[in-house]
Structure 1
Amino acid sequence: MKAAVINQYGQVGDVVTVTEVPTPAVGPRDVLIEARAAGVNPVDHLIVKGFMSAGPLAQPLVIGSEVAGLVSAVGAEVTDLSVGDEVFARVDPRVGGAFAEYVAVDRSLVAAKPQKLSFEEAASLPLVGLTAWQALTEQSQVGPGTRVLVHGGAGGVGSVAVQLAKHLGAEVVATAGGDGVDLVRKLGADQVVDYRAEQFDEVLGGFDVVFDTVGGATQDRSFRVLKPGGTLVSIVPIADAEAKKAEWNVEARAFMMRPHGEQLTHLASLVASGELQPLLETTYPLDDTVEALQKVERGGARGKTVLRIPA
C-alpha cells in the first residue's frame, strides 16, 4: 500500500516520503480501515521532528493521527462492525499510521462516520473534536451559565470548541483575526474580539473558563480575564503553572487529548443533530503530504487541512 513515512526524525521536507509499505496486520481487536481521507494536525509535524519520541526510530514510521474510510476487515473479537461500514477514528498516538491507504485501529477508538459528512469532513473532526470536548467537560466543567473564552476561534480546535461550548449552554466569547471574526460569529460565538485590533485582556474579563489553543503571551495574559476560582485549560504547556495559580487564585491545566471511541460517537450525534459542523479549509492528495504538513506547520489556518486518499 502507499503511505507517508519517515525513516528518521528531522524537518518535514527532509524526512517525509510517500512510498510503498506492507499493509498493516489485523489483530483480534482491530478494524482495518480502507482510508478515504486523513486529517493533518500540528502534532504530526512535531512527531516528524521527534518531539514526541523517547528515542530513535527502530523502523520506518507511517505518520498521521486521524482517518475516515471504509471497514476492509475486522479482527476475530470485533462483532459490531462489518466490511463496508463507513467509520472514522483518532488512531492510537503510539501507533500512528493514518497517512496510508489502509490503517489498523483498535475497535475502541472507532466510531460510525456521520452520514451527513464527507470522508474529508469526517477525517477533520476526531482530534480537534475530542480535544475540545475533553477540555470543556473533563478539564473544566462548562455548562449552562458558564462564561467561556476560546482563543483561536477560527482554528481547527477553536472552531469546534466554540460550537461545543454553545451546545453545553455557555456564553461564548472568542478571539480571532481578520476574516476569522465573521467566521467565528457564524459558528455561534456571542462575542468575537479581533486580536489584531484590540488586546483581549483590556476589553474582556470575568470568565469562568479560558480555553487556550495559542500559548505564549496569549496564555500569560489569559490569567487576567479569569474570575477568582476560574480555570485556564490549555493544549500548550503552562510555564510556572503552580505559581500562576497561586498568584491569580485560579486553576491552570495543560493536557493532551486521548483517543476515545465513545466520545467520538457522541460528537457524531451532535453532527447529526446540526449542533456541530467541522470546519474544513484545504485538502491535498496523499502524494502531497509534505506540502500539507508544511502548511499546518506555518499556522494561521481557518479550519482543518486534510489528505485525500482515493481508492
Structure 2
Amino acid sequence: MKAIGFKQSLPITKEDSFIAFETEVPKPEGRDLLVKVQANSVNPVDYKIRQNAVKDQVLDTPKIIGWDAVGIVEAVGAEVALFNVGDAVFYAGDLTRSGSNAEYQLVDERIVGRKPKNLSIAEAAAIPLTGLTAYETLFDRFKYNPATDKGKSLLILAGAGGVGSIAIQLAKKLTDLTVIATASREETQDWCKQMGADYVVDHYELKDQLAAEGFEQVDFIFDCVDLKSYWETAAELIKPQGHIVSITGSSEPLNLNLLKNKSVTFSWELMYTRSMHQTEDMQRQHDILNHLAQLLEDGTLQTTLTTTFEGFSVENLKEAHKLQESGKSIGKNVIVF
C-alpha cells in the first residue's frame, strides 16, 4: 500500500519533510478494524509531531502520522463486535499507533464511530478529533449539568479553529451556556458567529471587550490556542469556583496558586488519553462519535470543513501542513484520497 511519512523532523519547505513509500497492508487482530482510508484531515497535532518527533536521528522506516479519517472497514479482528466488513466509519485514531496518512490503517473499534450518512467523506473527515475534544471538554471535563449550569458563561479562546468551531456548536445546541468566542480578523469573527457564538471578542483586547459586553468574569474558559500566554488573564477572568480546561499544554510550569483563592478547577483535555492508556471507559469515544453522527444527520450540527485537497500526495499533505502552521486556518482542512 501507499503511505506518506517522514524519517526526520524537517521544516515543511524541505523536500524530504514528507516522503511517499510502499509498505505492507497490516492485518487486524483482536478488536482492530482494517480500514481503507478515503479521506483524512490535518490538525495542529500533526505538524507539531512532525516538527518534534524525530529531531536527533534519522529513522530507517518512515513514521506515518495523521489523525482523523473516514473509510470503509475491509477486515476485522477476531474479537470485533461493533462493526462489520463494508461499514463506513470515521475516527481520530491513537497517538501510539501508525496514522491515517496511508491507504490502509488499523484502529481499535472502541474509538471508531459510524460515518454520518448525510455527509460527504470530506465533510465527515473534518469532525472526529475536534468533535471528540470539544465533546469531552464540555461533558467529561466541565461536566456540564443542566440543573446547575443553565445560563452560565463559556469563553472559548480561538473560536474559529477546528476545535473552537465545533465547541461553539456543541455548547449552543446541547447546553444552555452563553457562548463567547475570541477571534481577531473579520473573517474569523464572521465564522464564529456562523457557528452560533452569542458574542465574539478580539483576543487582543479581551478584557476590555468582555467588560463592554457585560462580562467582568466568566464561569468556564476553554483554551484552544496558547495556555502559557493566556494563563494570568484566564486566572483573572475566571469566576470563583469556575473551571478552566486547556488542550494546548505549556512549555513552562503554571502558577496554580493564581487559582487558589477562587477555588478554581483546572483540567487538561487530551482526546488521546483513553486510547493511549486503554482506559476502562475507552468505548465512550465510540458512543460519542455515534452521537455526533446522529447530530450531524439531524441537522443539529454542521461540518466545519473549509478547505479540501483532492488527492493523497506528498504535495497536498505539505500544503495542508503549511496552512495549519500559518495560524490562519479557519475550520478544518481535509485531504480526499
Answer yes or no: same fold by TM over 0.5: yes
Query: Deviation digits for residues 235-270 of structure 1, max 9, x if unmatched?
Result: 122542422222554222233222522221122122
**2:146 counterpart of 1:146:** no
**2:266 counterpart of 1:252:** yes
- Cα RMSD over matched residues? 2.3
Structure 1: unaligned runs, 5 residues or longer = none
What is the identity, as a one-letter code, of the residue corresponding to 1:294?
K
What is the identity, as a one-letter code, of the residue corresponding to 1:286?
F
What SS does the aligned partner of 2:141 have? coil
d(CA) in 2 for partners of 1:52, 1:257 = 23
Q: CA deviation at 1:55?
A: 8.9
Task: From 222, 242, 248, give the equivalent of 1:236.
Answer: 248
Instruction: Indicate how the Cα distance of structure 1 residues 127 and 227 shifts in structure 2: closer, same or farther if over 3 A, else same.
Output: same
Task: From 98, 104, 107, give the equivalent of 2:106.
Answer: 104
The structure that is strand-richer by fraction is 1
d(CA) in 2 for partners of 1:283, 1:218 = 32
Q: CA deviation at 1:134?
A: 1.1
What SS does the aligned partner of 1:296 have? helix
Structure 2: unaligned runs, 5 residues or longer = 276-284
Contact 1:209 1:226 in 2 (8 A): yes
Contact 1:175 1:200 in 2 (8 A): no
d(CA) in 1 for partners of 2:4, 2:13 = 12
**2:10 counterpart of 1:2:** no
Q: Which residues of 2 match residues 33-52 of structure 1 at below 5 A? A: 33-51=35-53
Contact 2:9 2:51 in 1 (8 A): yes
d(CA) in 2 for partners of 1:155, 1:294 = 15
Moved more, 213-222 or 145-154: 213-222
Contact 1:174 1:192 in 2 (8 A): yes
d(CA) in 1 for partners of 2:56, 2:95 = 13
Moved more, 177-186 or 29-38: 177-186
Query: Deviation digits for residues 7-28 of structure 1, max 9, x if unmatched?
Result: 2333334431122222222223
What is the identity, as a one-letter code, of the residue corresponding to 1:275?
T
d(CA) in 2 for partners of 1:62, 1:115 = 28
**2:320 counterpart of 1:296:** no
What TM-score do you get using the length of structure 1 for normalisation?
A: 0.91
Moved more, 135-144 or 241-250: 241-250
Q: Which runs of 4+ in 1 moved over 4 A?
A: 51-58, 196-202
d(CA) in 2 for partners of 1:56, 1:30 = 30
Contact 1:46 1:52 in 2 (8 A): no
Contact 2:7 2:54 in 1 (8 A): no
d(CA) in 2 for partners of 1:237, 1:202 = 27
d(CA) in 1 for partners of 2:98, 2:56 = 15
d(CA) in 2 for partners of 1:56, 1:41 = 24
**2:302 counterpart of 1:277:** yes
Query: Deviation digits for residues 183-235 of structure 1, max 9, x if unmatched?
Result: 21222211111346765455433311011111143343122221111111111
What TM-score do you get using the length of structure 2 for normalisation?
A: 0.84
Instruction: Indicate how the Cα distance of structure 1 residues 57 and 262 shifts in structure 2: closer, same or farther if over 3 A, else same.
Output: farther
Q: 2:225 corresponds to which residue?
A: 214
Moved more, 193-202 or 259-268: 193-202
Q: 1:67 corresponds to which residue?
A: 69
Query: Deviation digits for residues 140-168 of structure 1, max 9, x if unmatched?
Result: 13343231111111110001111111122
Instruction: Indicate how the Cα distance of structure 1 residues 94 and 173 shifts in structure 2: closer, same or farther if over 3 A, else same.
Output: same
Moved more, 11-20 or 171-180: 11-20
Instruction: Indicate how the Cα distance of structure 1 residues 296 and 100 shifts in structure 2: closer, same or farther if over 3 A, else same.
Output: same
Moved more, 22-31 or 107-116: 22-31
d(CA) in 2 for partners of 1:195, 1:249 = 25
Overall identity of the aligned pairs, in %: 36
Moved more, 128-137 or 69-78: 69-78
Q: CA deviation at 1:68?
A: 0.2
What SS does the aligned partner of 1:154 have? coil
d(CA) in 2 for partners of 1:123, 1:222 = 32
Instruction: Indicate how the Cα distance of structure 1 residues 265 and 151 shifts in structure 2: closer, same or farther if over 3 A, else same.
Output: same
**2:163 counterpart of 1:161:** no
What is the identity, as a one-letter code, of the residue corresponding to 2:312?
L
